[in-house]
Structure 1
């Protein structure tokens, strides 16, 4: 499920390249909703199509949620006008054709409870944080993935209950990061993609990056790297540390091919993306040596596509998935 990131006032009001309008908070909120909706659609498609490859699954309704407490107090009145917020947790965007959409959930609906579990807490009086949003995500993710969700919504002062059909997906939260960097990462729980990707690339191209990062979570790379005792920071590129980080990056590229194909994307978009845009993402000559070069990535991905068994089903689980719990060496 997609969760909207934290938006301090100083960051929001400086986002003229993203919103295209100087210091217009309402327009900035609209622009952010558009970006988060794009991320939600990509994430929904990849996680539900590849649920069979994931040991950790969660209900995946097809929405992006956020909390009023993520917004600084100075922005909360506008957040209520733009996003509803009749309760601490609200739906920012709904993926077209998703179970949430089929159940009648709309953007700006507030979420009161899920399967009888109350969601959200009053926003902090000072500052902002994502505690209520994270708690709501965890509460929903802990529910059985293969059963319908009973959701109590509030809209225009009226409360109603909807049932969202079962929709298992790989358990992972997805966020769009604000700022100028071309950043993408996964930590086992979250996938985070910089907003600049959404300015520069099509949704199919962004799906290549999201699939790569989701692969890290499916393969439990963060946990396995910690168990292997790797060093991060300045030592990440040295010796065994660099070799193991590079191994996980190679694996994520290869599994990403299959995640894309299972979700109905043409896996060749990954070849084209790294060949045509890889230098923008990996830093070119200044790339970290924990990552392969963009040309090497394109060649390895092309070779993985060629190894696909003739008539492979969808979803197809490559042998690499079976290594998700093995120690890295």
Structure 2
């Protein structure tokens, strides 16, 4: 993840002046507070996203193995030493987030543990390109994914903040293929086919968890339904974009149901978001009005009831009616 770009603090972007490289005590406290607040919000996004991706894996066309662990590399920041000190890390690689009930959590990993090695490879010895510091973590994540595909697990060695080292084999389990990332600034959310990305100021972070989950599910739906590829083929005229937005709205309650959230949260999210933010994305010509979108969600909620299993699951792959794709003629 592009930490230098994502953290909107001068000390992290490499733009700080020499004097600012050694902040005063009050500045250090503020820096630490803002860094931890960002970390906490990203952990929330990651936890909900991973829960949705895990619960819907059986219905996804594209899946991958994940242990529910999100790493960070302090070298991606402009001032890595300050980040290490603020988070109590003893090396370059730390645990940014751990999804609840994931193999990583069950293995004992926790936020701000220092990860020392993966499958015997010392992480701090991995080559670093100063011009592309973010690439080191990306390469390590690719290696982790390859290990999961090969034998279903990775062996991690990490150090707790108190200094105790642990080594444990962590399994990977199937999840829908999609990353979940937080940007420092902005109120927008987007999906690009492989990632779901939220601005740190996205209003739904102040909502109840199931309503935030609905917003995340909407963006995840774009990836699962391959909307970006469909739009690349069919063009991004107003009617096409509206169609993909409506389809993602309608898939929200199915994704929520499988993850154990109340499907009605999809409607509550739209009814809460729409009136307050109609000057934003809901006034784009490519999007229908929030009230029209709410009506479509309400109709979907009613129609999906017959397909909800006793355990609460909902097979959208078999029963969700697509509006895009090769089988629709759209």
TM over 0.5: yes
1:37 alignment partner, one of 40, 43, 49? 43
Report the number of matched residues: 308
Give the CA deviation at 1:134: 2.5
Instruction: Output aligned runs, 1:1-329, within 5 Å.
Output: 6-7=6-7, 9-10=9-10, 24-72=30-78, 75-115=79-119, 121-125=126-130, 129-144=133-148, 148-155=152-159, 160-179=166-185, 181-197=186-202, 199-228=205-234, 230=235, 236=236, 241-283=237-279, 287-310=283-306, 312-313=308-309, 314-318=313-317, 319-320=319-320, 326=326, 329=330
SS in 2 for 1:307: helix
Shift of 1:178: 1.3
What CA distance in whole angstroms lies between the structure 1 residues aligned with 2:150 and 2:250? 28
Shift of 1:129: 4.5
The question of whether the paired residues in 1 share the 8 Å contact of 2:243 and 2:324 is answered with no
Partners of 1:188 and 1:217 within 8 A in 2: yes
Q: In 2 relative to 1, CA 290–67 (structure 1 residues): closer, same or farther, beyond 3 Å? A: same
Output the CA distance in 1 between the equivalents of 2:322 and 2:2. 29
Structure 1 partner of 2:20: none
Q: List runs of 5+ in structure 1 lacking aligned partners.
A: 14-20, 231-235
| Bigger mean CA offset, 276-285 vs 244-253 | 276-285
Instruction: Classify 1:140/1:296 alpha carbon distance in 2 versus 1 (closer, same or farther; 3 Å).
Output: farther
CA contact (8 A) 1:61 1:167 kept: yes
Query: Aligned pair in 2 of structure 1 residues 206, 249: CA closer, same or farther (>3 Å)?
Result: same
Counterpart CA distance in 2 for 1:84 and 1:10 is 20
Q: Distance in 2 between matches of 1:92 and 1:265?
A: 24
* Inter-partner Cα distance in structure 2 for 1:243 and 1:322: 15
- Under a length normalisation based on structure 2, what TM-score does the superposition of the two structures give? 0.80
Q: Could you report, residue by residue, the CA deviation over 1:2-32 in whole angstroms, capped at 9, with x for unpaired residues? A: 997732542869xxxxxxx977111112111
With 131-140 and 154-163 compared, the bigger mean Cα shift is at 154-163
Larger Rg: 2
Q: Which one is further off, 183-192 or 308-317?
A: 308-317
Alignment deviations for residues 234-268 of structure 1 (CA, whole Å, 9 cap, x no partner): xx5xxxx1111111111111111100111111111
1:37-90 Cα distance to aligned partner (Å, 9 max, x none): 111211121011000121211222223221122200xx2112112335555432
Q: 1:144, CA displacement in angstroms?
A: 4.4
Gaps of 5+ in 2: 14-25
CA pair 11-220 structure 1, distance change in 2 beyond 3 A = farther
Distance in 1 (CA, whole Å) between partners of 2:110 and 2:248 is: 34
